[in-house]
Structure 1
Amino acid sequence: MVRLGLLLLRVATVTEAIWQFSPDLTVLAQDDDGDGTESYLPLPSTDSWYRAPEGWEEATPGTVFKIRKNAYNVSLVPIANVKEVFQVLFRSTDSLENATWGVTTVFVPHRSQCDSTTSSANCSQGIVSYQLPYDTSCLDASPSFGLQWGEPYGEIGMALGRGWWVSVPDFEGPLASYGANIVAGYITLDSVRAVLAAVPDAFGVKHPRAALWGYSNGASATEAAVEFAPKYAPALKLAGAAIGGLTPSQITSGPMIARTQVSGLLVQGIIGITSQYPKQREYLLTRLHPSGPYNVTEFFWASYMSGWQSLLYYSYVDVFQYFIGGQADLEEPGMAAMFYREGTLGVFGIPDTPLFMYQAVEDDLTPIAETDSLIQNFCEKGSNILYHRNHWGGHNDELTNGRQRSLDFMGTVLGGGDVLEFPSSGCKTVNLTFMQDPQKPIV
């Protein structure tokens, strides 16, 4: 009997669908008959491949270090339209501008976009960089490992069904720095550079082009990436980016969720962001209660949990009770500067790629006015944006309600399937009231 140490579960009442671990993180699926057909990758923390090679720091960002072909046993992967899966390990940059590295997992469809053309030699194969929100400071809950057991929303399979390749980066990096937008943006960009560099020689794709897609925390990584791109990766020409359910300011959203059903996101974010800032992490450890019902040990249990588990464990917990000085401890100048630097979007640069941005007006995790202001600033400075403001539902609802439009936007910029009407220049805001018909398939 195959034992699974990881289960992919969907929780409809919370913001994100994340992987849930069994209590014993060392238990993996076993190959019962020894023929290799039931094998799974080891946890990233124990995977010898999931390491940068000697001397890696000297390489330039986006440099490919390793390619792991046939990374998954696709006969066991419950994701639609998957033909093969490979992984790429590459050089990147962390939040303090130091060298780091990243991993992305690339899914290849049974029928690629260019397979159906009569001039495949000149075809431009679309690749979607899909920033899946995994909301955890636990490295072993990264997508590169968890996607072996399936995906939470079906969006990878939908994109593969249109003939696009799909690259899913572990954008939080090797420290699982959940909430750290700077390293997330850099790793997202470098994952695209690495994949575009790898596929011509390793997989015979001569003319790849890429677009980005992310919702919620995946949107934060995507949005940071398009802000950084003009200066950090000027030679990288993205076809476009779809960004939904964005949180422009963590300083605003943090207190909003501190005593709610999604309090676990704040715990994970504090741990994740301080993993990039040693001084702030040291300060954090001095401000958490050493004992009592809300103590430092219990707080850091989150770093061993998937996002799903932490949402359950810390649900409706007042996160500020863990701190000796309460909320004020997180407003200390060094902490406040860190949260502003990592959690404020719109300050890194002006996107120069076409953007489709979509948000629920009644988003319960972030004020719509902040997204409105962010987009207005970009538009005044020359960005090309289609902005949909949906008057139906909240944050979770727009994840589903915006899915078809996001796929159609990808069709606009990558080719393949239906398209979304998009302004040739400048910006356009559309107010709509739309609920996805659950009986209508999204393709």
Structure 2
Amino acid sequence: MAVDRTVHRARRFGRRRAAAVLATALLSAVAGGLSTAPAGAAVYPIPDPDGFYAAPPNVGDYQPGDIIRSRSVPASGFPGAVAWQLLYRSTNSTDAPIAAMTTLLMSGGGGNRPLVSYQPFVNALGLQCAPSHTLFNGGLQEAPALNLLLARGWAVAVPDHLGPTSSYGAAKLGGRLTLDGVRAVKRFGPAGLGNAPVGMAGYSGGGMATAFAAAMAPDYAPELPIVGAAMGGVPVNIGKLALDLGSKPNPLFGLGFAAAIGLEREYPSVMSLDDTLNPAGVELRNRLANACTDEIINAAANKSYTDYLHGDVNDVTDDRIRVLHENSTEIYPGVPRAPIYQWAGSNDQVNPWLAREVAGRYCAAGDRVQFDIIPGADHGTAIAPGAIRAFNYLGDRFANLPAPSNC
């Protein structure tokens, strides 16, 4: 019963501490050597049984953002809206062509209007946990809030920003998928959004994807008319976060372990866990390969890296440090061109002052940044008040009002 109570608390406060535990377990898990995955290891998820998601053999013939196929779907939970799903070409972190998915919601049919790409926080390894599924089956906690955006007359795109192998933790990939997803939506004729101004938003893990998209856009997708980006609770350096937090047993350890698996999927030649996992760790990786958030939390509640891994938390190879840096906006040299709204709670377990330093670098490069600290809020309680400000901020950008800045 004590374990049940702990897991229940973990579920209630998971969003409050998830990013912190993710980083702690992540840095612990990537310590160790390299190897090739043994036969039968459940590193990758079971492919989506819906053939719509499958990449065609000639996926490399498409350009990033090109639509491979599209379909309309029932917009369950979004009264008065229509919904489409678009499979589009993107590129993974090793520069291989991939097929990715975004879901487009619009009220009142097609027609030019502002477009918001919303990146949810998705803490999962199974493909059935992706937003394109959970938007409509009650599994995505943020889904009801999207009706607030639709009520403003905006179109909303929700990408599966973890990609076709659910590479949880690969934030740079999330930024690339976000931008290519916006390209796909703007190229989708029935929606009529070719001339739509673009805003982006997300919190926590979704904030990481949003932050990367904003920083990458000037070089990767300079043609996109991004008028503003809003993100909250963003972990800007997962390696530093891990070192700050230590490695004590935690009810949410499974989320960090899952992030290590996600990076292993995205960087298989560098991030293999095979020489790092003990037998219990191998079993846990197999068990989590197709899991969503609750199952991941339950599987390793109140555990620590010593239960599943060997090696020291500080024993990380140069190649693995490179991967951690590649997925940290503090290190990424790109600077957003679009105005930024960013927020964090003053008591956030994800260091808000480090995020503010990154915002200061953007300011020094000439970007306009409004960074709000919400007094007394932690990682969970900062979501709602910041999101209200974020939506209003994007509304002002769509109205062509001058962007505020407290640089």
Question: Shorter chain as normaliser: what TM range?
Answer: 0.7 to 0.9
1:46 aligns with 2:49: yes
The alpha-carbon deviation at position 15 of structure 1 amounts to 0.5
Q: Which of 95, 103, 107 is matched with 2:101 structurally?
A: 103
- 1:90 aligns to 2:78 (yes or no): no
Report which stretch shifted further, 396-405 or 259-268: 259-268
Per the TM alignment, residue 108 of structure 1 is displaced from its structure 2 partner at its CA by 1.5
> What letter corresponds to residue 260 of structure 2 in structure 1?
I
Aligned positions of 1:14-33 closer than 5 A: 14-15=14-15
1:68 aligns with 2:68: no
Distance in 2 (CA, whole Å) between partners of 1:143 and 1:338 is 25
Question: Which deviates further from its counterpart, 50-59 or 189-198?
Answer: 50-59
- Cα distance in structure 1, aligned partners of 2:175 and 2:259: 16
Mapped to 2, the partners of 1:232 and 1:321 lie a distance apart of: 41
Alignment of 1:139-218 (within 5 A): 139-150=127-138, 151-153=140-142, 154-198=144-188, 201-205=189-193, 207-218=195-206
**1:346 deviation in Å?**
4.6
Where 1:324 maps in the other structure, the secondary structure is coil
The CA distance in 2 between the partners of 1:205 and 1:337, in whole Å, is: 38
What's 2:317 paired with?
A: 332
The answer on whether the counterparts of 1:81 and 1:160 sit within 8 Å (CA) in structure 2 is: no
Distance apart, 1:263 and its partner CA: 1.7
Answering whether residue 383 of structure 2 is matched by residue 399 of structure 1, we say: yes
Q: Which has the higher contact order (CA 8 A, sep 6+)?
A: 2
CA contact (8 A) 1:266 1:319 kept: no
Who is 1:351 aligned against? 336
Indicate if the aligned counterparts of 1:143 and 1:170 stay in contact, CA closer than 8 A: yes
Alpha-carbon deviations, 1:115-171, whole Å to 9, x = none? Answer: xxxxxxxxx501110001111122221111111213413221111111111110001
What amino acid does structure 2 have at the position aligned with 1:85?
A
Indicate the larger mover: 54-63 or 213-222. 54-63
Identity of aligned pairs, percent?
A: 25
1:164-218 deviations in Å (ceiling 9; x for gaps): 11110001111111111121111000000110111xx223446322210000000
Contact 2:16–2:378 under 8 Å retained in 1: no
Aligned mate of 2:259, from 269, 278, 283 = 269
Task: Calculate the TM-score normalised by the size of structure 1.
Answer: 0.77
Distance 1:406 1:275 in 2: 32
Q: 2:289 aligns with which of 303, 306, 319?
A: 303
Question: What CA distance in whole angstroms lies between the structure 2 residues aligned with 1:239 and 1:59?
Answer: 27
Compared CA separation, residues 45 and 147, structure 1 to 2 (3 A): same
Of the three residues 335, 358, 370, the one matched with 1:374 is 358
In structure 2, what is the equivalent of residue 278 of structure 1? 268
Specify the code of the residue in structure 2 equivalent to 1:250: I
Asked whether the 8 Å contact 1:267–1:302 carries over to 2, the reply is: no
Q: Distance in 1 between matches of 2:95 and 2:89?
A: 12
How many residue pairs get aligned? The number is 367
SS in 2 for 1:369: helix
Structure-2 separation of matches of 1:359 and 1:313: 29
CA contact (8 A) 1:64 1:91 kept: yes
- 1:127 is aligned to 115
Equivalent-residue separation in structure 1 for 2:12 and 2:299 (angstroms): 16
Q: 1:223-276 deviations in whole A, cap 9, x for unaligned?
A: 001111111111112121101110001102235275333322211110001111
Aligned to 2:12: 12
Partner Cα separation in structure 2 for residue 319 and residue 421 of structure 1: 48
User: After superposition, what is the alpha-carbon deviation per residue over 1:13-62, rounded to whole angstroms, capped at 9, x for unaligned?
Assistant: 211899xxxxxxxxxxxxxxxxxxxxxxxx96111111122311122111
Matched, 1:57 2:60: yes
Q: Counterpart amino acid of 1:286?
A: D
Larger Rg: 1
The secondary structure found in structure 2 opposite 1:275 is helix
**Structure 1: where are the runs of 5+ without partners?**
1-9, 19-42, 115-123, 430-443
Q: How many angstroms apart in 1 are the aligned matches of 2:402 and 2:377?
A: 23
Q: Quick one: which amino acid aligns to residue 169 of structure 2?
A: G
Cα contact 2:163–2:173 (8 A) shared by 1: yes
Deviation of 1:304 (Å): 1.9
RMSD of Structure 2 on Structure 1 (CA): 2.5
How far apart in 1 are the matches of 2:87 and 2:113? 21
Tell me the residue number matched to 2:28. none
> Structure 2 stretches of 5 or more lacking a match?
1-9, 19-45
Which secondary structure state, in structure 1, belongs to the residue aligned with residue 269 of structure 2? Answer: helix
Contact 2:336 2:367 in 1 (8 A): yes
Runs of 4+ in structure 1 displaced over 4 angstroms? none
Distance 1:350 1:182 in 2: 14
